[in-house]
A and B are shown apart, each in its own frame.
Chain A
């Protein structure tokens, strides 16, 4: 267990995982629908507060997994209940716990029927998501990974829009197809390890043959690329986003998509480093394809949710680009961009949800020229849109800049091809912003009420993080350094031993 710093005292990670689950169980027995709202809000806020010691107690100097917990689960198959966080997963867990209260707030009026069931789904979702980021045992990881699927399927399938059945089934089938490949590679790794183990850190740096690594990498890659989603595995995403209720879209965009890129960082790079280096150019080109494809498609959308969904494809392309350039700027930029995308795109989906609650439409055409009636709303929207197009001074700029800087030191041509993606981001975001704030000369006449207190409270913290990360990202980057350097040394070690050249 030399990779794990055991946690003394209260098992913090278990508490974070099981508090929402306990909240969900109690929530089922609540007498009224409105009490379920308050209860879910209390539980998610409690969990958010509980997660703060994770940051304050985090040791920046070590790449080991911290807050470790280890208990045997099914000993004859070497399956353990092992939890821990490092610099890669820490921010993602915090993102999850901090964003959940706002998902509850965004559903306050939006979800009008079966409120109790909805809140239970949200809480179960939170339990599984934190578990996925904290799990250090492959079976535990897989169980939680699959467990996320069911509440998300229900959230889209029950509370979704007109094509909810199509969207939820598409989401389910795609993700399940990826999960099967994940399961196969987990078992293959187990059988190839000596002694047999499901421990994720123990499987890192194993001495596997190149062919085996490439096969495992491809299986991992399929599972995670669907989740990210990378071009051309992205088609489930716009459908799911468009049909999902606001909270569902926020969870999907802010957290579920990050599972894919987290998978690349946690499994592909350290467990199959030789395959990573061999296949790196292809992944980089796929990332560039995603950046350009997402940008062009977003430019053509009339539905605001679809627009943001396709922009996510482009933004996540920058994340995968940063991960696979395999240098510290790129990887740190990618992790920061994961957080940024969670903050910014989550906030944008909240904004679209607020328009939808008023006009019952997500069409750009019906939301034109509302700047005059909803000045507070469009101010928020403007800042989040600027953040999304990586305006300097906002969070996304720092992430995107680091990714570009990292990518330039890897390959000039690939980076040059990704630059138009940044222009496209400005184009589709400013186009949406222009339409929403100003419209044309023939705006539809409508009287809309500006944001209320609850909605302002929902959006304001996102804005805080947009500028905090944009102007003072040091506290966010500091937690990553040790883990990212350790990760890159694992990859370059493999490169040395197999004599595959790494560029400086």
Chain B
């Protein structure tokens, strides 16, 4: 040490953070179905432990340091290396905290419905988090790809959980879309980037990227398109079909994986590559940003329109997810500091709101076995807590103050104005109206609608406490980070400088 504070710190904490869910999964497998309480406590312990380790990195990151840990060296310029910077913390903090809530919630859900194969379910759940944390802490494209693929494989058993024809069909669609886009686009992109630059390491800031000056513009543009399409977990049309298909999974899976872990792995990877492989400067000079923004605008509007037409609650939420994920990419693609802020903060904001919505859908299903929105008319008076949480989370999706989604929308609108893109501004406004269109009627009819003919909701009460409490916590956090956005914003600000 020569007195100056080193910016990069070697820290084995990173390794421990991703090993905890891996060992948690092994512990779940070993305890097995004979000891369900012990098994579930393994899940919960792993979740709490992982969050604690990640939270303990916060002071270092806020002090401007980057944590770093090399594990394997594959080829010159290709390693398995972990890195925690402000960008990774946005995703890692949100996902690891929500795992705790989801672990409690799924205990209530799976036991409430007396689901089969709960050991496999819990083990795969933890393995998926292992993959998701690996993605969050990737230091290079290879590590990212490795964990991205681990997430694909480990979530397959979760999607196919019911093992009926519908489950198999949904799971097949899921795996076909995710692995074939990764192989078709990411693999060649990675090989070509390696040929052009001799490395796959991410840059340390969002401006420079890793391409040497004077590199062939056509090839870089093709690589960029491949990277956007290759991470199909980001739900950008036309490769979004896997997401509604995956809704056959049990609701905790839809909640954590398809509102938080899996889809956020997709957008996180996409934006990580946009900012840290290509970089803002190169995207500006090749004019890649605004076309991308218009490209994902189509997804934002189209998915919302489809969501309007869905009467199955989970299907509507699924299309809402498709639409909202593209907000994140839209924000980054506009390439102004405010829009990037808005995009990145939405990783966390959307996570908390969407998991609440899915949790509510699951709680309604456990309590009433109802899936269709039309059957839920008047149910709000029977299940007030659940529907209150639903209402709060809907407001966040719409982007109304004081809930977190408003922060996103504010920054995105400012960003669109700074970028002088009236078209994108209109997209954001239209999307907001569409969100109102498909979220408000659900809450309205639940609280103020007439009960369906002959339906008295007798014997129906709120779902078990282990489900309602996580719902309330998640909804509360949406409000808290809406009123007090600074905690998450300081990571975002550290990214954009």
Binding site for B on A (CB under 8 A): 386, 391-393, 398, 401-402, 404-405, 408-409, 415-416, 419-420, 422-423, 426-427, 430, 434, 438, 440-441, 471-474, 477
Contacts and interface: CB of A to CB of B under 8 A. Distances in A.
B215 interface: no
A441 B164 contact: yes
**Which of A402, A408, A440 is packed against the most chain B CB atoms within 10 Å?**
A408
Given A392-B145, A404-B188, A472-B73, A409 B183 contact: no
Interface in B286-337: none
Given A391-B149, A409-B195, A419-B183, 14 more contacts: A392-B145, A398-B75, A404-B191, A416-B188, A422-B183, A426-B180, A430-B179, A434-B172, A438-B160, A438-B163, A438-B168, A471-B80, A472-B72, A473-B74
Contact of A393 (B146, B187, B195): B146
29 contacts: A391-B149, A391-B153, A401-B191, A401-B194, A402-B75, A404-B187, A404-B188, A405-B194, A408-B188, A408-B191, A408-B195, A409-B195, A415-B188, A416-B188, A419-B183, A422-B187, A423-B180, A426-B179, A426-B183, A427-B176, A427-B180, A430-B175, A434-B172, A438-B160, A440-B168, A441-B165, A441-B168, A471-B72, A472-B74
Interface of B is mostly: helix
**Which of B73, B78, B180, B183 is packed against the most chain A CB atoms within 10 Å?**
B183
B188 A392 contact: no
B184 interface: yes
Nearest to A375: B29
Given A471-B74, A472-B73, A419 B184 contact: yes
A393 B183 CA distance: 15
Nearest to A473: B74
Nearest to B71: A471
Contacts of B164: 441
Contacts of B80: 393, 471
Nearest to A425: B183
A415 B149 CA distance: 22
A423 B164 CA distance: 26
B224 interface: no
Given A423-B180, A472-B72, A405 B163 contact: no
A392 B179 CA distance: 12
Contacts of B146: 392-393
B166 to A, nearest CB: 10
Contacts of A420: 184
B173 to A, nearest CB: 12
Nearest to B178: A426
B121 interface: no
Contacts of A386: 153
A402 B78 CA distance: 11
Contacts of B9: none
A473 B142 CA distance: 15
Nearest to A386: B153
B208 to A, nearest CB: 23
Interface string B60-85: 00000000000011110010100000
Please name the 7 residue pairs, one residue from A and one from B, whose CB atoms are nearest each other, closest first.
A392-B146, A404-B191, A471-B72, A423-B183, A405-B191, A422-B183, A426-B179
